[in-house]
Amino acid sequence: MSDDVWILGINMTKFGKHPDLDTVDLAAAAARDAIADAGVSMGDMGILAAGNLMGAGLGIGQALQKQIGQTGIPVYNVSNACATGATALRTAIMAIKAGECDFGLAVGVEKLAGAGLLAGGSRGDTKSEWTPKGRYGAVAPVDGRIGTDTMPGVFAQIGMEYGHKYGGTSFELFARISEKNHAHSTLNPLAAYSKRMTLDEIMNDMMIAYPNTRPMCSANCDGAAAAVVVSGTKLKTLSQEQQRRAVKVAASILTTDPWQESCQILPDVNTLTRNAATQAYEAAGIGPEDLDLVELHDCFATAELVHYDNLMLCEPGGAVDFFESGATWRDGSMPVNVSGGLESKGHPIAATGIANVWEVCHHLRGEAGDRQIENAKVGLAHVIGLGSACGVHILERAA
């Protein structure tokens, strides 16, 4: 079994609208560039893990091979909500850790431009009585009864719940989180949107689900990201330049909801994220205070706030004070979403998990350009998908 795993090459396409490229074209572009970034070839790969959510049954991995090289290696087609890309990356990492191969390729891709609200449910009837039936027995559909199945509605509830429990939140506070991320995006040439927005512009835009207006929501778009991973043993045989740019995977964690009564009805994005973070810090042998930057899953501004707490970047209940301290800005003590986050960089679902890792890797390599976090050594990438699944990767700069 391999003692450690390193990211040797990584790439993401520009996120946005790509009407002339299909899903396979986007995946191939990211994969070829990640392989080139690693300084290896498709012939070196021992496993391909390909993530795609919206076309999950189409065998994206096999279709991708026809464009980048059919070498007969095992292909894993991955679909795991918004954690799809992180799950594909973890699949390749696990294959290397198991000693099955020295190199692995993970890809995440999605065509989502113009998709509108995701997972929109419907009550479907107007009856005053409901008869238990189906897999969940006595659990009724919740859409239109006690909440909503739409992503904006779910995460609006999550943010409001945090404020109700701990206090200090407001419409303006959540909008200021979005203001930060849109400001960060102006330094990211691959972001779907790189426009700075004023607080007034954000607060007065279209309301989607209070307290999230349109600029406070993740941007549906097209995009792909890919990573080449390598065993520590094999890395030692490669060039000094490849070793210098390699980024160590100090922790790769995937969790789901533990059973609790409440999560049988509404998703609990808090418990599984805190569990994943706890396991990741333990595996990496560090604490949250050792992080130099964080890319977390800000599918909505409300989500970013609660994940400060879930990732233990602050004390329990202290997310508002943590944000108010200025820590999460690019020049703060704990920069969060320097890429612009999902609200600006965009959220092509299956690509996001690897794209968040891409951002962290570029800072650890010293290759993040104008948005570079000086002397960054350790970073954390986080994604969460309702259903639920949470992926956390802790990454370390090469010695």
The per-residue pLDDT for range 176-185, each reduced to its tens digit, is 999 999 999 9
The verdict on whether 82 is a catalytic residue reads: yes
- The residue annotated as part of the active site, out of 18, 182, 307, 347, is 347
Is the pLDDT reported for residue 149 higher than 70? no
Summarize the confidence of residues 192-200 as an average pLDDT: 96
Q: How confident is the model at residue 276 (pLDDT cuts 50, 70, 90)?
A: very high
* pLDDT recorded at residue 70: 97
Q: Give the lowest-confidence range in 69-83, 186-200, 257-271, 353-367.
A: 257-271
Is the pLDDT reported for residue 283 higher than 70? yes
Report in angstroms the alpha-carbon separations of 292 from 24, 286, 288, 299.
Answer: 35, 12, 9, 22
State how far the Cα of 337 lies from the Cα of 158, in Å rounded to an integer: 20
* pLDDT recorded at residue 114: 76
* pLDDT recorded at residue 393: 98
Q: Helices 151-166 and 301-310, interaxial angle, to 10°?
A: 50
Is the pLDDT reported for residue 118 higher than 70? no
Domain map (residue ranges) of the chain: 5-114+219-397
- The per-residue pLDDT of the chain, averaged, comes to 92
Is the pLDDT reported for residue 23 higher than 50? yes
Is the pLDDT reported for residue 121 higher than 90? no
* pLDDT recorded at residue 399: 78
- The residue annotated as part of the active site, out of 82, 101, 217, 314, is 82
* pLDDT recorded at residue 25: 97
Summarize the confidence of residues 265-290 as an average pLDDT: 94
What is the pairing mode between strands 293-295 and 378-385? parallel
pLDDT above 90 covers what percent of the chain? 83
* pLDDT recorded at residue 144: 56
The per-residue pLDDT for range 296-355, each reduced to its tens digit, is 999 999 999 999 999 999 999 999 999 999 999 999 999 999 999 999 999 999 999 999
Is the pLDDT reported for residue 148 higher than 70? no
Is the pLDDT reported for residue 120 higher than 80? no
The pTM of this model reads 0.93
State how far the Cα of 315 lies from the Cα of 311, in Å rounded to an integer: 10
Is the pLDDT reported for residue 145 higher than 60? no
Is the pLDDT reported for residue 150 higher than 80? no
pLDDT above 70 covers what percent of the chain? 90
Q: How confident is the model at residue 56 (pLDDT cuts 50, 70, 90)?
A: low
Q: How confident is the model at residue 58 (pLDDT cuts 50, 70, 90)?
A: confident
State how far the Cα of 325 lies from the Cα of 333, in Å rounded to an integer: 9
Do residues 221 and 19 lie in contact, with contact meaning Cβ atoms separated by under 8 Å? no
Is the pLDDT reported for residue 371 higher than 90? yes
Q: How confident is the model at residue 161 (pLDDT cuts 50, 70, 90)?
A: very high
According to the 3-state scheme, what is the secondary structure of the chain?
CCCCEEEEEEEECCCECCCCCCHHHHHHHHHHHHHHHHCCCHHHCCCEEEECCCCHHHCHHHHHHHHHCCCCCCEEEECECECHHHHHHHHHHHHHHCCCCCEEEEEEEECCCCCCCCCCCCCCCCCCCCCCCCCCCCCCCCECCCECCCHHHHHHHHHHHHHHHHCCCCHHHHHHHHHHHHHHHCCCCCCCCCCCCCHHHHHCCCEEECCEEHHHECCCCEEEEEEEEEEHHHHCCCCHHHHHHCEEEEEEEEEECCCCHHHHCCCCHHHHHHHHHHHHHHHHCCCHHHCCEEECCCCEHHHHHHHHHHCCCCCCCCHHHHHHCCCCCCCCCCCECCCCHHHHCCCCHHHHHHHHHHHHHHHHHCCCHHHCCCCCCEEEEEEEECCCEEEEEEEEECC
* pLDDT recorded at residue 122: 42
Q: Which CATH class is domain 5-114+219-397?
A: alpha beta
Residue at token pair 């509108």 = 116
Q: How confident is the model at residue 123 (pLDDT cuts 50, 70, 90)?
A: very low
* pLDDT recorded at residue 55: 81
Q: Give the lowest-confidence range in 39-43, 143-147, 385-389.
A: 143-147
Q: How confident is the model at residue 254 (pLDDT cuts 50, 70, 90)?
A: very high
Give 292's contacts (C-beta < 8 A, 6+ positions apart): 335, 363, 373, 375, 376, 377, 378, 379
Token pair of 367 as six digits: 């290759």
Token pair of 85 as six digits: 């890309």
Sign of the dihedral defined by the CA atoms of residues 202, 204, 207, 212, in that order: positive
